[in-house]
Chain A
Amino acid sequence: MKSKNKTLLTWLVILIIIILVINLLIFIPKQQDETIKIGAILALTGSIANQGEWIQNGLEFAKDEINSNNGINGKKIEIIYEDAQVDPKLAINSYNKLRNFNNVNIIITMGSGVGIALTPLVNEDKVIQIGVATASPDYSTQGDFTFRTYETADLEMKNLATIMYNDFNIRKVASLYINNDYGEGVKRVFEEEFKNLGGEIVISEAFNVGDVDFRTHINKVKASKPDALYIAPYTKEGGYLLKNSKELDLDLQIFSSQAIFGGEELFTIAGDAAEGLFIAAPEFNLDSGDENMKNFIEQYKKKYQTEPEIYAARAYDSVIVIGIAIEECGSDDKTECIKNELFKIKNHQGISGEISFDENGDVLREFELKIVKNGKIIPYKDIK
């Protein structure tokens, strides 16, 4: 090598060493014992960033509440956020970061693909994973360290299929679902149940995360002549699907799975094409009258200037139950103990509903069909 290059190389080596040393100094983990650390791998950007934001609100709310009441056994909770956009690859990266740099033993995740990809890792490392927006039936079946406060697809989709078949007398359904573990998981449960009831799935096609052009899909749906359309999208894709449906004059009742929830974004994209959309959702009544609930809503509104969505409530409940388990066990690294304590939780009155973890770590909820009326999402029974 020429000597000019040699000097350059020496400088580069020095630069590299400086970079590595600074990184290490910055990231030397702080004293272990001071706080209880919870990692949160969320979608803070991307197709369901709105849900991610609600979840973050819920987590922060619970954290502040616990910390202002002297924490857990005197220790404060600290939540460390990572943005993985429901991409399993990014989630694994985030997981490694949280483990290596932040010494985290408990993580909150959203997204079925993320949950499924992290499951072998958390089981191996004995890390607690709680999914707060994780629908796929494949998530919790492997290993003991995975829990969720989101109802499994079984609940929603079986109920939806039954209602569509019995109450709406639908016999033939066209099915469009998002091409990832979430969409694949929920539509599988739905289609199976609908067929068990005696119905027929005339067409079942996937679309990609981030798709905005559904014209071909809709044309195929039209050609298959169904009685209704079932969709399992995220907010963005769902919005464009509805928009294209209206433009192409689809004229069918559309039933969607829960993940289409995204606050205003759905209406920004679809406009009044969203009118009349049915959404399969859990019951979450803000006027339930419960004292805890009223308090939560009031405080939440004060802090975030908006009413809480169920996503925030589930996230809140997750932190609370983690707190209960840690209180019994003493510290956040005793994860065997925490796991056992979580399984012991039965009939805990959470904001999102009653929480009891079954043998898979799943929870049950009450189902409620919602409909979009005049730009608002309301329970269907209110207008029946």
Chain B
Amino acid sequence: MIEAYFIHILILIGIYIILAISLQLAIGFTGLLNLGHIAFFGIGAYTSALLTLLGWPFWIAFLLAGLIAGLFGFFLSIPTHKLKGDYLALATMGFSFVVYAVLLNWTELTRGPLGLPGIPKPSIFGFSISSNLAFLIFTIIIVIISYLVIKKITISPFGKVLESVRDDELASKTLGKNTFKVKATSLIVSAFFAGIAGSLYAHYITFIDPSSFTIMQLIPVLLIVIVGGLASLRGTVVATIVLIILPEILRFVGFPSSVVGPARQIIYALILLLILIYKPKGFDGKVQLK
């Protein structure tokens, strides 16, 4: 049973890594402060859950989770194209609220607050991923693929364009870059991977409800992105591992579970404040939040 604890933590780390590096692509590399990232996570989770509950094969549901989330990434990029700074942050936050409200109220589709129980474990072409160990291996594979894809994007010429849009959008436009296309692509890819992470989450926990996808759930992810350092994928991965394991201290101090939850949030919020004040570049960051 000891391995069960390890496996559980590693799966969580895997899911958060994908969430964090996809957000890093938007914030750190493109300069888009997308505070609505969790909405993509939720859209991916619900898409995958609903399709598999209807009997669709897992691998299709999994990919569609990413694609539909990506589609919403595109939708979000249109009205937010001209927004900057805190208005962009607020609008994306508002988007996250609206998605939450839809998940909560469109009960014919999502069962609202009742959530979706009994989400089936994944099975790919007849091979069932039912044990947690198998799920961990699957997760690791997806994490590696996601990391390689995003890494490739950031070191490619397109990656340089992303960073130029981040640093000085006006200049980039002057040089003839279609900055809308650039930002939209970034959001689409970012959302796609968040959607994939959502699918992993749904099939691991086997139950989702709208409360798993509120702005509160963004705090650890945002924290990881900032602590790891903006525009550093390596830093993001390290930060994920550290920040997911750190609150596990609370487990052996023996707090009752009603205290563990808020205590975890306090730790995260405190670290975020301290980092913002004393080390806003994070540990491996190349740029600062603007």
The interface of chain A, by Cβ under 8 A from chain B, is: 1, 5, 8-9, 12, 15-16, 19-20, 22-24, 26-29, 44-45, 82-83, 85, 87-90, 92, 94, 96, 99-101, 103, 113, 116-117, 119-121, 124, 179-181, 184, 208-209
Flag if A120 contacts B117 (CB, 8 Å): yes
Q: List the B side residues contacting A9 at CB < 8 Å.
A: 238, 283
Asked if B280 is at the interface of the complex by the 8 Å CB criterion, the answer is no
**Residue of A with least CB distance to B207:** A117
Chain B 1-41 per-residue mask, 1 if CB under 8 angstroms from chain A, else 0? 11011101100000000000000000000000000000000
Q: Is B57's CB within 8 Å of the partner chain A?
A: no
- Residue on B nearest A88 in the bound complex, by CB: B207
Question: With A89-B207, A113-B114 given, is the CB distance from A103 to B1 under 8 Å?
Answer: yes
CA distance A316 to B245 in the complex (A): 39
From residue A166, how far is it (CB to closest CB) to chain B in Å?
32
Residues B5 and A27 in contact, CB atoms below 8 Å apart: yes
Binding site for A on B (CB under 8 A): 1-2, 4-6, 8-9, 112-115, 117-118, 130, 205-209, 211-212, 238, 241-242, 245-246, 248-249, 251-252, 256-258, 283-284
B112 interface neighbour in A27, A96, A179, Cβ under 8 Å: A179
A100 and B1 in contact (CB under 8 A), knowing A1-B284, A89-B212? yes
**For A99, what are the chain B residues with a Cβ–Cβ distance below 8 Å?**
1, 4
The distance in angstroms between the C-alpha atoms of A109 and B5, with both chains bound, is: 23
Residues of chain A within 8 A of B242, CB atoms compared: 12, 16
CB of A208 within 8 A of CB of B113, answer: yes
**CB nearest to B118 among chain A residues:** A120
Which chain B residue has the least Cβ–Cβ distance from A101?
Answer: B1
Known: A12-B242, A113-B114, A179-B114. A100 touches B8 (CB 8 A): yes
In contact, A23 and B112 (Cβ under 8 angstroms): no
Contact of B283 with A92 in the complex, beta carbons under 8 Å: no
Distance of A3 from chain B, by nearest CB (Å): 12
* Residue picked from B117, B206, B242, B249, most chain A C-beta under 10 Å: B117
In Å, the complex CA distance between A103 and B113 comes to 31
Selected from A26, A88, A124, A209, the residue in CB contact (under 8 A) with B117 is A88
Q: Across the interface, which residues of B come within 8 angstroms of A119, CB to CB?
A: 117-118
Q: Are B206 and A23 neighbours in the complex by a CB distance under 8 Å?
A: no
On whether A19 and B246 interact (CB within 8 A), knowing A45-B258, A120-B206, the answer reads: yes
Closest A residue by C-beta to B249: A19
14 A-B contacts (beta carbon < 8 Å)? A1-B284, A9-B238, A16-B242, A16-B245, A20-B248, A27-B252, A29-B1, A45-B258, A83-B257, A88-B209, A100-B5, A103-B1, A117-B115, A117-B207
Shortest Cβ distance from residue B59 to the other chain A in the assembled complex, whole angstroms: 21
Chain A residues with CB under 8 A of B115: 88-89, 113, 117
Determine chain B's interface SS by DSSP, over half rule.
Answer: helix
Residue of B nearest to A22 (CB): B252
Chain A residue at smallest Cβ distance from B7: A100
Min CB gap A25→B, angstroms: 9
Of B113, B130, B205, the most chain A CB neighbours within 10 A belong to B113
Q: Given A8-B283, A89-B205: A28 and B248 within 8 A (CB)?
A: no
- Find out whether the CB atom of B118 lies under 8 angstroms from the CB atom of A23: no
In the complex, A122 Cα to B184 Cα: how many Å? 44
With a CB–CB cut-off of 8 A, which chain B residues contact A88?
A: 115, 117, 207, 209
- Residues of chain A within 8 A (CB-CB) of B257 are 82-83, 90, 94
Residue of B nearest to A44 (CB): B258
Question: Chain A residues with Cβ under 8 A from B8's Cβ?
Answer: 96, 100
The 9 closest A-B pairs by CB, nearest first: A100-B4, A117-B117, A120-B118, A117-B207, A16-B245, A45-B258, A83-B257, A179-B113, A26-B252
Chain B residues near A28: list those with CB within 8 A. 2
Partner of A5, one of B112, B117, B284: B284
Q: Which residues of A contact B5 (CB under 8 A)?
A: 23-24, 27, 100-101
Measured in the bound complex, the distance between the Cα atoms of B238 and A109 in whole Å is 38
Report the bound CA distance from A244 to B183 in whole Å.
Answer: 50
- Bound CA span A304–B99, Å: 47
Q: Which residue of B lies closest to A182 (CB)?
A: B114
Given A23-B5, A83-B257, A89-B205, 15 more contacts at CB 8 Å? Answer: A9-B238, A15-B246, A23-B248, A27-B2, A83-B258, A88-B115, A88-B117, A89-B207, A90-B257, A92-B205, A92-B207, A100-B4, A120-B118, A124-B130, A179-B113
* Residue on B nearest A209 in the bound complex, by CB: B113
- The docked-state distance in angstroms from the alpha carbon of A209 to that of B114 is 11
- Contact B209 A89, beta carbon cutoff 8 Å: yes
List of A residues within 8 angstroms of B249 by Cβ:
19
- Taken together as a complex, chains A and B put the C-alpha atoms of A16 and B206 apart, in Å, by 28
- Which residues does chain B contribute within 8 Å of A5, judged by CB atoms? 283-284
Query: A15, A88, A96, A119 — which one has the most chain B CB atoms within 10 A of its CB?
Result: A88
Chain A residue with the shortest CB-CB distance to B112: A179
**Nearest CB on A from B259, distance (A):** 10
Which of the residues A19, A92, A181 comes within 8 Å of B245, measured between beta carbons?
Answer: A19
The CA-CA distance from A48 to B208 in the complex, in Å, is 22
